[in-house]
Amino acid sequence: MKELLYLEVPTPEAATVLNWLQQEFMVPSGVKVAAPTGFRWQPAGDRDGETVAGCVWSLQRTTYLKLFRWSDRPIAGEGALVRALRQQVAEKFPTTYPELPEIDLTKSNIFEALAPKYPQTAKYFQRMPNGERDLLRAYWWEKRWREAVRNPQQHKQVIFQGQTSQGQTSQGQTSQGQNPEALPAITYDLIYVGGALGVIHAAMMARLGYRVLLLERLPFGRMNREWNISREELQVPIDLGLFTPAEVEGLIATEYRDGFHKFFDANNPPQARANVLHTPTVLNVAIAADRIIQLCGQKLREAGGDIWDETEFERADVTGDRITMTANHLPTGETRQVAGRLLIDAMGTASPIAWQLNGTRAFDSVCPTVGAVIADGIDWPVWDLDYGDVLFSHGDISRGRQLIWELFPIGGKAVTVYLFHYHQVHPENPGSLLEMYEDFFSILPEYRRCDLDKLTWGKATFGYIPGHFSQSEGERRVSFDRLLALGDAASLQSPLVFTGFGSMIRNLGRLTDLLDTALKHDLLMEQDLGAIRAYQSNVAVTWMFSKGMMVPTGRTLPPERVNSMLNTFFGLLADAEEDVADRFIKDRFDWWLFNRLALKAAVQNPMLLWWIWDSAGPWDLWRWMGSYVTFTLSSLVAWLLGWLPVIARRIQPWLEQRAPGLWLRVLARCYAIDLTWGQRARVARTVSRSSTEAVSSSTV
């Protein structure tokens, strides 16, 4: 038996495809006969044993089709049959991209409005606590994301450059000159917009003595995500003085024994099949997201900071020595205005600031991610709660996406389950949360043998996790005068496991130290703030991995392609020492390790190079070469200047006093040197500065 063709037919209606094959598909020659799961074809003439069989089946709300030849040698006309089937399938079942339905909530609630198109989603959200609110938020987030992707040149301007003390305006911005006497007094050193990852950093800065305001659009303390991390990474906020060891233990929901990475390989060629990758020290600690946000909020308030929740950012005006923020208190409609020295954008992918600063290059990729906390019902033998699924696929490409699952135990019988895919940001196909939710509820029983009606549902977990393909450190704009982006708004995430929380925790000391230095010396213009970013040249070079997991809009790839690429690489990690996978997934690999793995992958599976070329195309490969050259040069510089972090603190008192701007750049370079070589930063310091010193140093 010889496989002749394997196609994904982008429709969940397998019965429709079967009927079309049997009734309408026109064979170019020979005889077609209906069969229970497809058809049989025989060439013209009486040729015993020369038969081609076609069959269809359904998985992941899509349909798959295969052709097999039942003979050892080629059959006359089989090539024409394959070409005809490929062409007619593409014409009859073209790839279409879902549109978000317009709804009128004055005539029905969100469940009734979405039920015709998303029946499973409407059904199971009604069984979740706060399901109506969360479904409304998912709809709002998708609507806002689509608008931003489709109209990047027509973004709403929200940052305005007013008249400076020199009477100049920033290039490309509208002058909104104001009477200096009408400007509000500077109330805060730092204004954070976005209360998820933002509150962690805000609490750090408040404990340094800075006057901090946090703005949150939702009621504070609620989070539509759960977070996972490792014990090693959790030591960072302890060392920095943000949490005590006892407080960290109180934030941990559970700690599981091992995590698995495995991708469906039934249709992969032999060289692209892999063993299960075990990562017992990666994402194996489940953090109660609501708990950590509330604890950080408590620490923020105890340090004198303020939180305005249910308040939506509207605009900010940069004028002279301040940035004035205007916001809307949603429950009352009241307009609020406040001034500070620096505004921090932590609004994530929904950030209008990020879209204004970067326009069409705001984000190059995104992971539409959906899921839910399941409080009970996922138990042995469905799943052993001592283990987690870090990355797992149970099928091939589905309607232009390679769907990937995650499952993390979070204490007791509760688990958090995610479904996501890596996605090209494209105006014709922005990526849909609601379509993903319909997939999630429909195919969860395929992934884990469970009855959805017997599950106890907790909160919904969803979001758009961004990615940016950087060739160099300064390519992405993360700052403006008196404005800095952090977290997902700055594409602070890892290409493989896209954990913005993990990246924030790993870079917490670096970002805090650099921002503290900038505030202390009033280095708050764009040219100075640009040094405060979590860019790593070793992480930037891995964006080709996430690119390889995407199906380009308008393209049809072989269904097994993405799984084959993933298995090639993860198989190498599975066969290597445990430390190799740990370092790679935690962004702590160096130039030597990266090249060793890349060469092994190319030797093991030479087709990998062609697959990457076919998926990425020449332009993205050229851009990636730029990232690789930057990584190589950064590694060389790090090797030549490996002594710099050792003496940086010794020269700090002398250099910082005489040239604070130069010291800020030296400090940023020290962090970059260590991180480029996959080392822990040697210049990070525990928070020890007294509140009195911090307040005096931040006085305007």
* Secondary structure (3-state) at 6: strand
Ordered mean pLDDT values, 10 residues apiece, the chain (700 residues) = 94 96 94 94 76 95 95 88 96 94 93 97 96 95 90 80 48 46 83 91 96 93 82 92 95 93 95 94 90 95 95 94 94 95 88 81 83 90 91 95 95 93 92 97 95 94 82 75 84 55 86 95 93 79 80 92 94 91 85 92 90 84 86 90 86 92 92 80 50 34
> Cα(264)–Cα(164) distance, rounded to whole angstroms?
58
- Position 65, amino acid: L
> Cα(350)–Cα(487) distance, rounded to whole angstroms?
12
Contact 363, 165 (CB under 8 A): no
Q: Which domains does the chain have, with CATH numbers?
A: 2-92 (3.30.310), 154-253+282-360+469-536 (3.50.50.60)
Q: Minimal CA–CA distance to 684: which of 494, 473, 505?
A: 505
Burial of 299 (0-12, 13-18, 19+ CB in 10 A): buried
Which tokens hold the place of 202? Answer: 């805000």
Task: Report pLDDT for 181.
Answer: 56
Sheet containing 38-42: give its strands across: 2-9, 62-69, 52-59, 38-42, 31-35
User: 283 vs 263, 270, 438, CA distance in Å?
Assistant: 18, 30, 27
For 336, other C-beta atoms within 10 Å of its C-beta total: 15
* Burial readout 108-146 (b: 16 or more C-beta within 10 A, e: otherwise): eebbebbbebbebbbebbeebeebebbbbbbbebbebbb
Burial of 153 (0-12, 13-18, 19+ CB in 10 A): exposed
> Cα(683)–Cα(648) distance, rounded to whole angstroms?
7
Q: Is the dihedral of CA 535, 539, 541, 546 positive or negative?
A: negative
272: phi then psi, degrees, rounded to nearest 5: -115, 30
Task: Report pLDDT for 179.
Answer: 56
pTM: 0.88
> Cα(117)–Cα(554) distance, rounded to whole angstroms?
23
Q: Minimal CA–CA distance to 240: which of 523, 584, 504, 536?
A: 504
Please provide the DSSP assignment of 623-662 as one string: HHHHHHHHHHHHHHHHHHTTTHHHHHHHHHHHHHHH-HHH
Q: Where are the alpha helices (DSSP H) in 552-590?
A: 561-575, 578-585
Q: What is the DSSP letter of 389?
A: E
Task: Report pLDDT for 692.
Answer: 35
Task: Report pLDDT for 176.
Answer: 45
Q: Where are the alpha helices (DSSP H) in 151-244?
A: 197-207, 231-239
> Cα(292)–Cα(302) distance, rounded to whole angstroms?
15
585: phi then psi, degrees, rounded to nearest 5: -75, -25
> Cα(263)–Cα(567) distance, rounded to whole angstroms?
6
596 Cβ contact partners less than 8 Å away, ≥ 6 residues apart: none
Largest Cα separation within the chain, whole Å, is: 97
Q: What is the DSSP letter of 408?
A: E
Contact 88, 25 (CB under 8 A): yes
Task: Report pLDDT for 26.
Answer: 95
Half-sphere exposure (CA, 13 Å, Cβ side) for 499? 26
User: 235 vs 225, 294, 371, 509, CA distance in Å?
Assistant: 22, 19, 28, 11
Contact 484, 459 (CB under 8 A): no
Half-sphere exposure (CA, 13 Å, Cβ side) for 146? 18
> Cα(139)–Cα(470) distance, rounded to whole angstroms?
30
> Cα(488)–Cα(496) distance, rounded to whole angstroms?
15
